Amino acid sequence: MSHNKPVRFIYTFNASEDYIPEIRRQVSDVCREVGFDLKISMAIQMAIEEACSNVIRHAYMLGKGIIRLAISLEQKQIVFTIIDQGKGFEFDKKEIPNLERYIETGRKGGLGLYLISKIMDEVDYGPVGDENHFRMVRYIGRSREKRKRKGASSKTGLSFKTKFSLTAAACLVLILGAIFAFMNYRITVDTRQELFSETLNSAEGLAARLADKMMLGDELQLAALVKNAAETFVHVSSLTVIDTSGVIWADAYDQRLLLTRYQYPSGISPRIMRQYQSYRGTANSEMHLILVPVEYFGIRKGTLVTAIPENAIESSIKGKQESLIVISLSGLAVAFLIIYLVAIYHGRSVSVLSQSISRIGKDGSPLHGIRVEGKDEISEIARAFNEMTERFKDHHKEAHEEERLKLEMATAEAIQQTLLPKHFPDMHGFEIAADYRPTKNVSGDYFDFVKVDNKHLGIVIADVSGGGIPGSLVMSMLRASIRLEARGELSPVTVLNRVNDFVKEDVLKGMFITVFYMILDVQKRTVKFASAGHNPMILYRQSENDCFLFNPPGLPMGMLLPEGIGFSGKLESDEIPLRQDDLLLIYTDGITESRNQKGEFFGEEGLVNFTRENGSLSPKEFIAKLGKELDNFMEGVLSADDITLVVIKESALIDAVYHRNHVGYRQSKEIRRLVNENPELDLDGIYSRLKEVSGGNGIGLSEVR
């Protein structure tokens, strides 16, 4: 079915995998309303389950939190939005799973997110304010051809082998490029430094040998020594010896310069020794000059001038760079070959995995598992996929059983609704109200009102463990037996003993029933009660502004008791008189066991405190305010148990107070006569006659007695 106007549902759950079945039930109901067939409904349920599981495991890290599921029914689509306030996680929306990343990291999870994309038509995940929104859209009535084209278009792309090869090659090129750039830089710097250091060391050695020759003034030996040494200076273009006055004593490459005055190039300082200085030579070529002092026992005799051309340095650097290029290209070729072979080897396994995943049906149902061999990462991913496949198959098998159970539950729910009272007894002098909140379709809680006789009203509340269909059946037996046994019986103990004898044989093993049964004496204004293992009754006495708890001993019904211990032997009753404005509260443990997000219970103390503060309200007002108090306390957390309570307030003593200022003694005698002469009247009739006679002002019941 389609919706002209959007219809929105919002459900709140604890962030616990225990609530996944409840989430699936809600989604199933919505899918049934939309008109999806069973297969599509099951696939959508699986997608929502997988999304919620990811939120629970990754957003809340399996900790405490709240998940809100918003479902919007629109004309042509249904939108599911999972909202959380946990830590955001990375969601890859690509249609084809990134298998190489799974293999690289060894992840076994994540394929479920891919399946969500296969099942849903649109998937989006991201932050919205302080919340994370996981939005999934499924089109309504979209043709299978369009969905098929959508699925086919999502499969276009490069194969794993090609992607792996290209990615690995690109990474390798980047790495080798970075290494090459670094090595090239080091070659340039280191070669230059090596040449300068080598030249400086050779020049200092030559200067030491020249010192004594200059001391003796032996120019011929000086010139021969310089010329011979020049052969060891491979990269030097000029080698000149000058004295302290700047006269050239020897030049290894031009003898014509002997005894001429040496001219320092522009920008060269003769005072800077043992460091290279650069300048522009002939033809604008760059040159580097190193000055080394020639000393004889610390006495400066001259200077050895060494010149190195820049092109000689660049030539040496270029030779080393060419060697680096050859080595790099050779290594790159070998690496490419290895990458290709590895891609072919692993690509076969990945292709099998990819083809198996692609067998998923158009509704998201997997057809076959994957044959698993080995213990590597691909095998682990395959095993994870097989586990997911089995989960899908199991859910499909459970689908028909779930539908059958839903029909049974609907029938049981209809039966149960007939068991609960539709109207509350209208008793003069008492205000009565009740509230009933089941957590499941079929609750385990029960309450009822039984007319014992004209002067007594029986009120019962019970909690059947387990609930569901068995609980509903036990509840029907309990109702029938209580209504049968309570007629005319003024002993709560006797009634409960007879009821237990009636139902104990039919209660399933492991089940039990807690019951609180009270009998109101509407004439004497007393209440007699007994408890079969139930929660205590709370009495709020307004005259004392305090609460009192009453819970006579008693064991739950239907329990398998040890030998020597009987149900009737442990059961006792109690009786209390009622005063003006007294309020009685009987309830099931769904109230006291309600929890908030911190895991704290509302508790019996919380209920007593609430009753003490609000006991002056009418029963209806009390129940309404308690409901709001529980909702505020639980902060959106679903109740784990059914909530049922019955509230009774004594109000006749206000209406029936005899005001002597308004009713005279003669009228009082007339009222007593009326009561004595009309014994057939029940309390309601007496009450009406009293009001007629007293003019609406009433007379105290103690006066009537």
Residue indicated by tokens 């080091």: 186
> Mean pLDDT for the chain?
79
Instruction: Give the model's pLDDT for residue 662.
Output: 40
Q: Which residues of 308-338 are buried (b: 16+ CB within 10 A; e: fewer)?
A: bbeebbeebbeebbeeeeeebeeebeebeee
Which of the two residues, 415 and 647, has the higher pLDDT score? Answer: 647
pLDDT at 404 over 80: no
pLDDT at 275 over 50: yes
Among 131-145, 300-314, 527-541, 614-628, whose mean pLDDT is lowest?
131-145
**Highest mean pLDDT: which of 355-369, 611-625, 629-643?**
611-625
Which of the two residues, 277 and 625, has the higher pLDDT score? Answer: 625
Mean pLDDT for 699-704 is: 43
- What band does 547 get if pLDDT is binned at 50, 70 and 90? very high
**Helix-helix angle 665-677:683-693, to 10 degrees:** 150
| Residues 286-295: tens digit of each pLDDT | 888 899 998 8
Among 112-116, 245-249, 439-443, 641-645, whose mean pLDDT is lowest?
439-443
Give, in order, the Cα–Cα distances in Å from 92 to each of 51, 82, 327.
13, 17, 40
| Residues 243-262: tens digit of each pLDDT | 888 888 888 888 888 888 88
Reference 168, options 328, 346, 355; nearest CA is: 346
Instruction: Give the model's pLDDT for residue 671.
Output: 56
Instruction: Give the model's pLDDT for residue 489.
Output: 94
Instruction: Give the model's pLDDT for residue 657.
Output: 39
pLDDT at 141 over 80: no
Measured CA to CA, the distance from residue 647 to residue 622 in angstroms comes to 8
Q: Assess contact for 13 and 337: CB atoms under 8 A.
A: no
Instruction: Give the model's pLDDT for residue 654.
Output: 41
Which residues touch 18 (CB under 8 Å, ≥6 apart)?
none
Mean pLDDT for 119-137 is: 89
70: helix, strand or coil: strand
Instruction: Give the model's pLDDT for residue 374.
Output: 63
Domains of the chain by residue range:
7-155+358-403, 159-353, 420-653, 665-704
Which of the two residues, 573 and 363, has the higher pLDDT score? Answer: 573
| Residues 646-679: tens digit of each pLDDT | 999 998 654 443 333 344 444 555 555 665 665 5
pLDDT at 270 over 80: yes
Mean pLDDT for 427-453 is: 83
**pLDDT above 70 coverage of the chain, percent:** 75
Give, in order, the Cα–Cα distances in Å from 448 to each of 429, 514, 674.
19, 14, 34
Among 165-169, 229-233, 668-672, whose mean pLDDT is lowest?
668-672
Q: Assess contact for 94 and 48: CB atoms under 8 A.
A: no
**Full DSSP string of 639-652:** PSS-EEEEEEEE-H
Amino acid at 99: L
Pick left, alpha or beta for residue 62 (phi over 0 → left; psi -120 to 50 → alpha; otherwise beta): left
Amino acid at 52: C
pLDDT at 694 over 50: no
| Residues 74-97: tens digit of each pLDDT | 878 899 999 998 887 665 544 444
H runs (alpha helix) in 358-467: 377-419
Instruction: Give the model's pLDDT for residue 368.
Output: 57
| Residues 491-532: tens digit of each pLDDT | 999 999 999 988 888 788 878 899 999 999 988 899 999 999
pLDDT at 100 over 70: no
Mean pLDDT for 235-245 is: 86
Q: Which fold has domain 7-155+358-403?
A: Heat Shock Protein 90 (3.30.565)
Q: How many residues does the chain have?
A: 705
Residue indicated by tokens 């060419």: 322
Residue indicated by tokens 């051809």: 145
For residue 454, what is the DSSP state?
T
pLDDT at 470 over 80: no
Instruction: Give the model's pLDDT for residue 673.
Output: 62
Give, in order, the Cα–Cα distances in Å from 693 to each of 523, 679, 704.
19, 17, 13
**Is the pTM above the cut of 0.75?**
no
Reference 343, options 507, 160, 574, 583; nearest CA is: 160
Among 200-204, 268-272, 377-381, 455-459, whose mean pLDDT is lowest?
377-381
Measured CA to CA, the distance from residue 471 to residue 148 in angstroms comes to 47
Among 102-106, 449-453, 479-483, whose mean pLDDT is lowest?
102-106
Mean pLDDT for 602-631 is: 94
Which of the two residues, 247 and 692, has the higher pLDDT score? Answer: 247
> Is the domain 159-353 a CATH 3.40.228.10 member?
no
Mean pLDDT for 49-63 is: 82
Superfamily of domain 420-653: PPM-type phosphatase domain (3.60.40.10)
Instruction: Give the model's pLDDT for residue 616.
Output: 92
Instruction: Give the model's pLDDT for residue 433.
Output: 94
679: helix, strand or coil: coil
Mean pLDDT for 97-126 is: 63
Among 137-146, 163-172, 503-512, 631-640, whose mean pLDDT is lowest?
137-146
For residue 557, what is the DSSP state?
B
Instruction: Give the model's pLDDT for residue 215.
Output: 81
Which residues touch 417 (CB under 8 Å, ≥6 apart)?
none
pLDDT at 229 over 90: no
pLDDT at 344 over 80: no
Instruction: Give the model's pLDDT for residue 276.
Output: 84
277: helix, strand or coil: strand
Which of the two residues, 156 and 479, has the higher pLDDT score? Answer: 479
Instruction: Give the model's pLDDT for residue 611.
Output: 96
Other residues' Cβ atoms within 10 Å of the Cβ of residue 186: 12
pLDDT at 388 over 60: yes
Among 142-156, 224-238, 436-450, 655-669, whose mean pLDDT is lowest?
655-669
pLDDT at 171 over 90: no
Q: Assess contact for 242 and 305: CB atoms under 8 A.
A: yes
- What band does 617 get if pLDDT is binned at 50, 70 and 90? very high
